[in-house]
């Protein structure tokens, strides 16, 4: 089976989707990413990453209801798929293994 790899930004966006659970939509993801990393990111960069993640099968999306505060527009909510959860688990295992391999210094 061919393994799909994630770039660092895609990984962070996927993690934020997992953290926000059922409340993950573009602006909320952007704000949480900035809060947690201190990085300034554009909403369009987050949307592009979400689109790639959805194409790879790591997130699913659904449209929410229209709201007055959004001028009748609907939000697209994202959730981590089974494949996305598996990818996050694999990434965590690899990173923990590598961190454990760092020689201890005195």
What pTM does this model have? Answer: 0.86
- Does residue 29 belong to any structural domain of this protein? yes
Helices (runs of H) and strands (runs of E) counted in the chain: 4, 3
User: In sequence order, which residues have a C-beta less than 8 Å from that of residue 99 and are 6 or more positions away?
Assistant: none
- Quick: pLDDT tens for 10-69: 999 999 999 999 899 999 999 999 999 999 999 999 999 999 999 999 999 998 876 767
User: In sequence order, which residues have a C-beta less than 8 Å from that of residue 92 and are 6 or more positions away?
Assistant: none
Phi-psi region of 65 (alpha: psi -120 to 50; beta: other; left: phi over 0): beta
pLDDT of residue 1: 43
- Does residue 1 belong to any structural domain of this protein? no
- Does residue 59 belong to any structural domain of this protein? yes
- The encoded tokens of residue 86 equal 């598996």
- What domain range includes position 56? 8-101
Return the CATH number at 65: 1.10.10.10
> What's the CA gap between 59 and 52, in Å, rounded?
9
* Domains of the chain: total: 1
Q: How confident is the model at residue 104 (pLDDT cuts 50, 70, 90)?
A: confident
- Does residue 41 belong to any structural domain of this protein? yes
């Amino acid at each position: 089976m061919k393994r799909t790899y994630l770039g660092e930004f895609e990984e962070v966006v996927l993690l934020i989707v997992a953290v926000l659970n059922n409340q993950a939509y573009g602006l909320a993801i952007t704000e949480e990413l900035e809060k947690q990393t201190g990085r300034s990111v554009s909403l369009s960069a987050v949307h592009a990453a979400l689109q790639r993640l959805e194409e790879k099968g790591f997130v699913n999306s659904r449209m929410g209801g229209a709201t007055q505060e959004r001028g009748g527009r609907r939000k697209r909510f994202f959730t981590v798929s089974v494949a996305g959860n598996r990818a996050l688990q694999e990434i965590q295992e690899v990173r923990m293994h590598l961190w454990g391999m760092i020689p201890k210094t005195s």
